[in-house]
Chains A and B, each alone.
Chain A
Amino acid sequence: MSRTLGRTQAVAVVAAGVATPLGLDLDTFWSALCTGVDGISAIERFRVDDLRVGRGGEIKKLRTLRHGRLPRCRASALLLLAADDLLARAALTADPARVAVVVGTALGGVEEGERALGEGGVRAAAGGLYDSPAQALAERLAARGPVLTVSTACASGATAMGVGADLLAANAADLVVAGGYDVLCRFVMRGFDALRSLTRERVRPFDRRRSGLLLGEGAALVLLARDADAPRVRLGRLLGHASSSDGSHVAAPDPEGRGLEHAVRGALAAAGVGGEAVDFVSAHGTGTPLNDKIETAVLRRVLGGRAGAVPVNSIKGALGHSMGAAATLEAIMCLLASRDGVVPGTAGYEEADPACELDVRGVARAARPRVSLSTSLGFGGCNAALVLEGTS
């Protein structure tokens, strides 16, 4: 094996597809991000009147697929919509036995389990298995290679892209459809509402007045291929990735951010670059007082003296925290920023916080990052980081 120890082989990100509250295709999503469209609204699809907070990034209406019907399971439906968008931009040109699917999720098909228990008991709840939506996606893609479901909570979309890159490096597949998804459902709203993690105000990542997050839903997929095998026209490359555990708390991040820092440094090392190479950071940026402060401290340690000059954003102010989909959406955003020379603003950001001294802006700005860093954290002390290179 001819790789440098610790380095990961860069893989091409050939194309992407999304389903989000900001739009059910990549172009609409990107346009909305750049122009500051607000994807947060009152939740209408299920009962929220008994919860403290009833808003989120809900997709109001699903479109039809170009081929086939949407399944009843909303998680699978969102994945298939993202795949539909992806396949409109790139074809799966490999032997189906060499096409892998790796998707991340925090909740899987839990809404199906929730529905089944409400309707008729535990036997009907098979659809609630967390890996059911990935199987639905593989079937729709006719992919017969490895089908993996990753569940590193809200870091799942990043971990899935990393595992997908590893499959390519190991020659276990020639193409990988990787990404993440999650749905807004009563299960997760009840949980976060009771934990008092949700804000009754606007989501304001890195803002002095930030008071919590709002959840969202969506799906995001990328088509990965080995660099040498990929077409010249592509979104960019995944240069490196790494994950880590905090080993400190089941639900809260390590207060010093040591796990996140380890993941970030690992991803940079895997990419063969240092902090000085980072042109842009897509932060996890949930808008909770603790998360954003911890991330700031980690970024300041990693970026050093450049920390105040490197553009940082969080797109969770615009579409909520879409959990398993978030990291993949953010990775895609990094590559689109490189392509178009625009870094979307951080919706809700207005007042600087001395505890979050980073270059965050509320509106989009002209910048064309070559190397981007994307950070993710999740329940269970999950951390993941991606280093991406765009094409300009």
Chain B
Amino acid sequence: MTRVLGVGLLTGWGAGVAALPEDARRAAGERRVVTAATPPLAGERFRRATRECLLGVAAVEAALRESGLDRAAVAGPRTALVYVTAAAYGASNYAFIGAETARPARAEGGLSEMRSGSALYFPYTAPSAVPAEVAIEYGLTGGYVILVGGAAAAVDALWQAGTLLTAGRADTALVLAVETFEECAARWTTPRPLVEAAACAVLRGGGELEYGPGDASALETLVARRAGETLACGPLVGLALARAAGAPRARVTGRWRGRRAQIALAT
């Protein structure tokens, strides 16, 4: 069975599952968005990187640490990267559009309003910018899939990573999800607190994958209660919670646009 070596987790609540409150809604109070701190990654390499990119890089770093792997262990063509997001391209898109419409989206962190609207930042409007920065930072040149969607798409991403491992197309797979909301908070109408997050699961091993439609798992309920609405990060938060609880196996589920998907993994 495909197994999870480790999960790196950064949320608006802090780093790791220990930072998650018992009740996210209560902890959020009146806040509509619980913003994740911008990782302090400085230097020329990241001069144009968006906040989403920095969160992605930091989540992978945390995942490797949790997995006991160093960078050399994942560099090269035998590590696949599967990235998923429902929202993390929103800030750069709206900044780029806003630069023309004179209604610039409010941007924070590594990207100012004027900079984000300029031509050099156009490539950062693509969802592929986040995994690109991750691939560059860690030297990942293996299988590469980018999915757009919420929690169900994250389950799809875990399945896709498992497929790459099972087919022998990769030895290690990183499943990365990043969600940011601060710059476009008004467009989201979900009732729970929106909690920014970046999460990365390191997978190895192969075998038949239990993947398909399914009912909500207990983990999904737990993730909603403890983390709040993290969209595509939700199933990865679930894996982190399962590992923290010492569960040998986890059935993670995720729902998005009326569809719920599930997958079972060894944790």
Measured CB to CB, the residues of A under 8 A from B are: 1, 3, 5-8, 97, 106, 108, 110, 113-114, 117-118, 121-123, 125-126, 128-131, 135, 144, 146-153, 159, 163, 166, 169-170, 172, 186-187, 190-192, 194-195, 242-251, 258-259, 262, 266, 270, 378-383
Residues from chain B with Cβ under 8 Å of A113 in the complex: 93-94, 97
Residues from chain B with Cβ under 8 Å of A380 in the complex: 123, 126-129, 131-132, 146
Residues from chain A with Cβ under 8 Å of B186 in the complex: 121-123
Cα distance A7–B163 when bound, in Å? 12
> Quick check: is B14 within 8 A (CB to CB) of the other chain?
no
| New A-B pairs, 4, CB < 8 Å, besides A125-B94, A150-B147, A159-B146 | A125-B187, A149-B153, A244-B143, A258-B141
- In the complex, which of the residues A123, A251, A262 contacts B141, with contact meaning CB atoms closer than 8 Å? A262
Residues from chain A with Cβ under 8 Å of B163 in the complex: 166, 169-170
Q: Known A187-B97, A381-B135; judge A106-B149 contact (CB<8 A).
A: no
Residues from chain B with Cβ under 8 Å of A126 in the complex: 187
Residue of B nearest to A110 (CB): B93
Query: B93 contacts A172, CB within 8 Å?
Result: no
Q: Known A8-B167, A245-B131; judge A151-B94 contact (CB<8 A).
A: no
What's the nearest-Cβ distance from chain B to residue A270, in Å? 7
7 CB contacts below 8 A, A to B, read A150-B147, A153-B126, A166-B163, A170-B209, A246-B135, A262-B77, A381-B136
- In the complex, which of the residues B100, B141, B146 contacts A247, with contact meaning CB atoms closer than 8 Å? B141
> Quick check: is B60 within 8 A (CB to CB) of the other chain?
no
Interface size range of chain B in the complex: 35 or more
What's the nearest-Cβ distance from chain A to residue B216, in Å? 17
Residues from chain A with Cβ under 8 Å of B168 in the complex: 5-6
What's the nearest-Cβ distance from chain B to residue A324, in Å? 11
Query: A131 contacts B149, CB within 8 Å?
Result: yes
> Quick check: is B81 within 8 A (CB to CB) of the other chain?
yes
State the 7 A-B residue pairs at the shortest beta-carbon distance, nearest first.
A380-B128, A194-B119, A5-B168, A191-B122, A380-B132, A251-B123, A245-B144
Residues from chain B with Cβ under 8 Å of A125 in the complex: 94, 184, 187
Cα distance A135–B100 when bound, in Å? 29
| Chain A contact surface mostly | mixed
Query: A166 contacts B160, CB within 8 Å?
Result: yes
- In the complex, which of the residues A97, A128, A166, A379 contacts B126, with contact meaning CB atoms closer than 8 Å? A379
Encode contact with A along B194-230: 1 for CB under 8 Å, 0 otherwise.
0000000000000111011100000000000000000
What's the nearest-Cβ distance from chain B to residue A248, in Å? 6
Q: Known A131-B86, A170-B159, A187-B96; judge A245-B148 contact (CB<8 A).
A: no
Query: B148 contacts A131, CB within 8 Å?
Result: yes
Cα distance A383–B140 when bound, in Å? 13
Encode contact with A along B156-189: 1 for CB under 8 Å, 0 otherwise.
1001100100111100000000000000101100
> Quick check: is B133 within 8 A (CB to CB) of the other chain?
yes
What's the nearest-Cβ distance from chain B to residue A196, in Å? 8
Query: A250 contacts B136, CB within 8 Å?
Result: yes
Query: B148 contacts A6, CB within 8 Å?
Result: no
Q: Known A244-B144, A246-B141, A247-B139; judge A118-B101 contact (CB<8 A).
A: yes
Q: Known A153-B126, A245-B131, A380-B132; judge A129-B86 contact (CB<8 A).
A: yes
Cα distance A114–B89 when bound, in Å? 14
Cα distance A262–B140 when bound, in Å? 12
